[in-house]
């Protein structure tokens, strides 16, 4: 099975060390954009760990996802500075345009939407992140342009592959 072969390569890279569980899960998440149940079970078996322990780590850290994630994760800062500068309106605009709520992923697996309490960039507020790229002084007009940019980027890459 292709998924399990990928998991084995990641585990090999970490030398089958139980103490490397978080790093292994990060590798799987990076490779597959989430932690598939088969990958979690296989990891537990290969490291000779209780399945509950692997699931415990996978569900404890917000960075890990047990459901498929979008290619682009949009994170809206809802901290005090961003909030007073319009973060709630930006979040509403993202929800409207993407037709999803925080914690959800678009059906085409292009976008996932999240909120956080602070990203530590208060001077740039309101701030959103797309994956790990910061976009400051955001407003509702910029939201549409930003989404278009990432949608066009995806379309251009798909067309280049098809050629």
- pLDDT 10s digits, 33-47: 899 999 999 999 999
Within this chain, do residues 56 and 94 fall inside the same structural domain, yes or no?
no
What is the tally of structural domains in the chain? 2
99 within a domain of the structure (yes/no): yes
Q: Packing angle between helix 51-60 and helix 37-47, nearest 10 degrees?
A: 130
Within this chain, do residues 50 and 13 fall inside the same structural domain, yes or no?
yes
Confidence (pLDDT) at 3: 81
Confidence (pLDDT) at 1: 64
Within this chain, do residues 93 and 40 fall inside the same structural domain, yes or no?
no
Neighbours of 110 (CB within 10 A): 17
pTM for this predicted structure: 0.74
Confidence (pLDDT) at 12: 92
Give the CB-side neighbour count of residue 153, counting CA atoms within 13 A. Answer: 10
Question: Is 58 within 8 Å of 96 (Cβ atoms)?
Answer: no
Low-confidence residues of the chain: pLDDT under 50: 160-161, 163
């Amino acid at each position: 099975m292709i998924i399990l072969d990928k998991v084995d390569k990641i585990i090999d890279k970490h030398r089958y060390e139980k103490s490397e569980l978080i790093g292994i899960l990060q590798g799987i998440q990076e490779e597959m954009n989430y932690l598939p149940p088969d990958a979690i079970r296989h990891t537990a078996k290969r490291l000779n760990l209780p399945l509950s322990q692997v699931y415990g780590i996978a569900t404890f850290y917000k960075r890990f996802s047990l459901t498929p994630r979008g290619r682009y994760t949009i994170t809206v800062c809802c901290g005090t500075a961003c909030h007073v500068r319009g973060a709630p309106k930006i979040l509403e605009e993202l929800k409207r345009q993407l037709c999803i709520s925080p914690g959800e992923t678009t059906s085409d697996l292009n976008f996932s939407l999240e909120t956080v309490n602070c990203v530590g960039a208060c001077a740039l507020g309101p701030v959103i992140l797309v994956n790990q790229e910061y976009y400051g002084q955001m407003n509702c007009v910029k939201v549409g342009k930003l989404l278009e940019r990432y949608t066009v980027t995806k379309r251009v890459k798909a067309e280049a592959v098809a050629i």
